[in-house]
Structure 1
Amino acid sequence: MSDPMGKMEAAGGLAVTTGVDVNKAVEALKSEGIPAKVLAKDATLWGPEAEAEAAIRLGWVDTFEKSKELIAPLAKLRAEFGEQGIDHIALCGMGGSSLAPEVISRTLDLGISVLDTTDPGQILAEIGEESLRRTAVVVSSKSGGTVETDSQRRAFEAAFKGVGITDFAGRFVFVTDPGSRLVELATEQGSHLFEADETVGGRYSALTAFGLVPTALAGADIAELIEQAEALAASATGEGDNPAVVLGAVIAARPTITIADDGTGIVGLGDWAEQLIAESLGKDGKGTLPVVLEGPAAAGARGSDRVYATVGGSSTGLPAGGSQLAMPDVVVNGPLGAQFLAWELATAYAGYLIGIDPFNQPNVTESKENTNRILADGLPDERPTAVDGDIEIFGSHAKTVSGALGELLLDADSKDAYVAIMAYLDRLDDAPVAQLRSEIAERTNSPVTWGWGPRFLHSTGQFHKGGRQTGLFLQITGAVGQDVEVPDREFTFAGLQAAQAAGDRQALESRERPLVRLHLTDRKRGITQLLHAVRELS
């Protein structure tokens, strides 16, 4: 077990403490002047093939300066919404457009509704008349054409009309890159518009309009977040203590990093860091796999192939209660604004150490293209190989759910293997199914990840296709009770969700990765049955 107090560097309000031996990597980064070069936006650091992309994607290192311009207009708009009786923010966004706002919301208890799904149940829960009358909708998309976000926007627009809210355009706030379709739409219908920094990629956009607009409108003190990042940036030149350098070396040290909140004030940062690390480093057949844990003592935290990190807002450096069951390999403590910038810097440093371009995402579009083709041509004709109670089994020779799980996990203890569970379900109403991650982690030595679809397609989906090709994949889908139309489109939300699941299956099957799909014909009974089945495994 690593000594969590072995090495500590602190600056700008943030401390990183680790027992992992990263001294050589830290000294190499500092002696080569990498921190200063990153802050100077040196696009040559990650090799000639990465230079063109890096040249237009390094705005995040000081984007907090530009973001100061958002403070006054957002305060004004929040006040205007308050005068109209609007006190609830619904956020339509995927990946980098939703994950940072969700962390800020959960940490500050803002109560933003994050709609990063195509599940009809979650959509229906957000468009009920009672909540609509007090709701403003933030639509966030860099391209302006993200299919999930566009579909959600259409559903909200139709719902507003349905309850007689004719001035709905003023309830929409668009966050997008300059020149996108949303800029045009905002101008056409008179909606609020905030253009983001186009030199910042989605997963690095926490401190841009994407992270700050919805949270400021919900009541966050974004000036404080910006100040926290600014304080860290001032100390991040590489001279003296540099916690982000230590964190970068740790991320690059082992094939997997497991991440848990330590219970001291930061809530849900792992979900955001998961996307940042997976999309930035999971490519070229290598990279670091991030695993988000349920808590400091969660199953699967430790292993010889992984480094275990806890994240918090205090300076104690220990998980809540000082749990001896899961003493971390590294603790990252400090305010949220500094955390965002530190993890972004660390990921860029890790990319340098591993030899990976941290700014491209060569495999992200594959499942999207498959989805579009399926929406046009129809779902593939797939028949279950077996039916066990309320669960249909696909892609397995087994006749029972426990047998199918056992068959999939036969190779889970092989070198570099990991298990990815992908659930195309309602992450609120179907939340108990997420217990499956820890249940499987208790029964295998491999890292086990959890992803809600299609949310994970904008996160670990890149690693699944471009990272090390040792994943074992379990996809869970479910029957839909009440569907929701997507206005002016030839598909419904259930149809889109099914097409996304099928498109991702095709992407994984083309790589000949082990894949089992379990379809819940009754979601609640099926979840209970599934959890019982996994507990039958030895």
Structure 2
Amino acid sequence: MTIDPLAAVEAAAGLAVFGAPATASRHGRVDARLAGLDAGPDPLALDPALLPQLAELHEELGDLDHVVLAGPGRAAEAIARTLGRRLTVLDDPDPRQVLGLTRDRDLMCRSVTVFAEDAGDLHRVLHRAYLDLGLTEAETARHLLPLGGSDALLEAPGQETLVAATLAGIDAGELTGQSAAFAPSVRAATGDNPALALGLALAGADAVALVADGSGLEGLGEWAAPLLTAAGLVPVVAEAPDSPGVRGEDVLTVSYGGSLRAGSVPGGGARPDVAVNGPLGAQFAAWRWAAAIAGRLRGAEPPPPPGNAAVDGEAPSWTDGAVEIFTTRPRTDLSTLLREFGSDIHDHLSVVAVLDPVTDAEVAALRPLLAAATGRPVTLDRDPGHVGDLRNGSFLQITGADPEDVDVPGRAYTLGGSRSRRAAAARQALTRRGRPLLRLHLTDRRRGVRQLLAAAGMLQARACG
């Protein structure tokens, strides 16, 4: 795919898209198809009237210097990483993440947790953990911040991203101001519309490689990836500009950052087809609308609702070291299995690592290894329920044993059990739609991850040999 990276510049509120065709004469072709388009939830949604309350709350809780967000947090992580603030996200967390927090008394005493509306299980877990530390109900309430309900210190349902960011010391007003300045361009009948330019470029792609251009915006690709998946695209979040899978005949390479033009990505390896440059608040708005535009134009199916399924009775086909293998393929060693599975990829390979992003972080190295070995787009996701759009792709789901789980007070299940049921529901959905699926279960996570990486590394060695 070739697009002149400097063919046109479309700018609004400090954000520009390089590399997409000019918007002149396009509105007549696409406006009717985009009528009534909804870009979905805005992570920067915040009632301006709440800003003084947030500032007051930040000062009141100033001694609680460790901020936790319980719920979807990719936007908050991108904000914190870009602006150099510490923030922990517990989004459908692995039990190890929760135990790492609750067993550290000093960290618990310095933490305040902001809860999204659907994070009730974590609220129960952390509420019990604080009481177990010997805190009173009143003392516990100071560490737990739901954003709705009779006992809420702040009424801001659905606005957990900026609430958590503000408590972490980030200027929410600046971010919302950047987004608000960009907003009029989205509905502009004439003139430059960066979201439309980016959306049209995305609509003509299948796989999209997202590359940080080194100018300071971090984590935006991880946040944008689910939006692109919902639009029927295959998002490859590149570890570096020269990572495997960044380029290819069927890959649209898009860089993002604060100021650099297309073709200016440092580090070598990437010659972007499209560059999206501008302030972080405008980036959030542009990508939301661009993904929605691309999805509408591509006729993307809505993602299936998350589900749960029983996991009892599942038995591995065989075991290789610390890896239990679930497949209908003939028995062989792990490396040969990966090679055979990778040689028959349908469109792209989606690696779903249902593990702890902290203690099992090494598993992320699997994506570039498999991309280099297969020559196909390879994505990495950590959501147990991830199934893509169910119309294409092969899937490698990696799960791990939980030596210790976390009970949910007042419920007949555990955090680990809930994740396992979601992963099982995803497997069932993929199987029903005929998607190629290989599941690997690590009986010992540390050993299993290293064994898996070694097996994938052998694929690359064979390819080179």
What TM-score, normalized to structure 2?
0.91
- The answer for the alignment partner of 1:193 in structure 2 is 154
Provide the secondary structure at the position in 2 that maps to 1:532.
helix
Deviation string, structure 1 residues 441-475 (Cα, Å, up to 9, x no partner) = 01123211101133xx3xxx36343xxx2211111
Partner of 1:31: 28
User: Secondary structure of 1:194's match?
Assistant: coil
Task: Give yes or no for the alignment of 1:293 onto 2:252.
Answer: no
Task: Deviation per CA, 1:392-427: give whole Å up to 9, x if none.
Answer: 111132321112212221222x6xx11011111111
The answer for the alignment partner of 2:446 in structure 1 is 524
- Matched letter for residue 195 of structure 1: A
Q: How far off its partner does 1:355 sit?
A: 3.8
Select the residue among 267, 271, 277 that pairs with 1:333.
277
Deviation at 1:5, TM superposition (A): 2.0
1:526 partner letter: G
- Report matched runs for 1:70-219 at 5 Å: 70-82=50-62, 85-94=63-72, 98-127=73-102, 128-141=104-117, 146=118, 149-166=119-136, 167=138, 168-175=140-147, 183=148, 186-187=149-150, 190-196=151-157, 209-219=159-169
Residue 246, structure 1, aligned to residue 171, structure 2: no
Shift of 1:234: 3.6
In 2, are the aligned partners of 1:46 and 1:355 still within 8 Å (CA)?
Answer: no
Counterpart CA distance in 2 for 1:535 and 1:479 is 23
2:256 is matched with 311
Q: Compared with structure 1, are the counterparts of its residues 318 and 153 closer, same or farther at alpha carbon in structure 2 (3 Å cutoff)?
A: farther
Q: Identify if the C-alpha distance between structure 1 residues 410 and 222 changes in structure 2 by more than 3 Å, giving closer, same or farther.
A: same
SS at match of 1:67: coil
Task: Provide Cα deviations, 1:462-497, integer angstroms capped at 9, x if missing partner.
Answer: 6343xxx22111111112222222111111222222
Match of 1:386 among 292, 313, 318: 318
For residues 165-188 of structure 1, the C-alpha deviation after alignment (integer angstroms, 9 at most, x for no partner) is: 22212322223xxxxxxx4xx31x
Amino acid corresponding to residue 74 of structure 1 in structure 2? L
Which deviations, in whole Å up to 9, do the C-alpha atoms of 1:209-244 show, x marking residues without a partner? Answer: 232111011111111111111222244414222222
Counterpart of 1:435 in structure 2 is 365
Q: Secondary structure at the match of 1:100?
A: helix
Which of the numbers 369, 388, 391 marks the counterpart of 1:463?
388
**What is the CA–CA distance in structure 2 between the aligned matches of 1:496 and 1:321, rounded to whole Å?**
42
Shift of 1:326: 1.3
Q: C-alpha distance in 2, partners of 1:135/1:63?
A: 23
User: C-alpha displacement at 1:69, in angstroms?
Assistant: 2.1
> Quick check: 2:113–2:144 contact (8 Å CA) kept in 1?
yes
- Which residue is equivalent to 1:225? 175
Larger proportion of helix? 1
Which runs of no fewer than 5 residues in structure 2 stay unpaired? none
The answer to whether the aligner puts 1:401 opposite 2:379 as a matched pair is no
Match of 1:363, as an amino acid?
A: P
Q: Structure 1 pair 233/444, CA: closer, same or farther in 2 (3 Å)?
A: same
Partners of 2:182 and 2:285 within 8 A in 1: yes
Q: 1:453 to 1:355 in 2, by over 3 A?
A: closer
Aligned to 1:39: none
For the Cα contact (< 8 Å) 2:265–2:271, is it kept in 1? no
Report the 3-state secondary structure (helix = DSSP H, G, I; strand = E; otherwise coil) of the residue aligned with 1:294: coil
Name which of 269, 275, 289 aligns with 2:226: 275
CA-atom RMSD, angstroms?
2.3
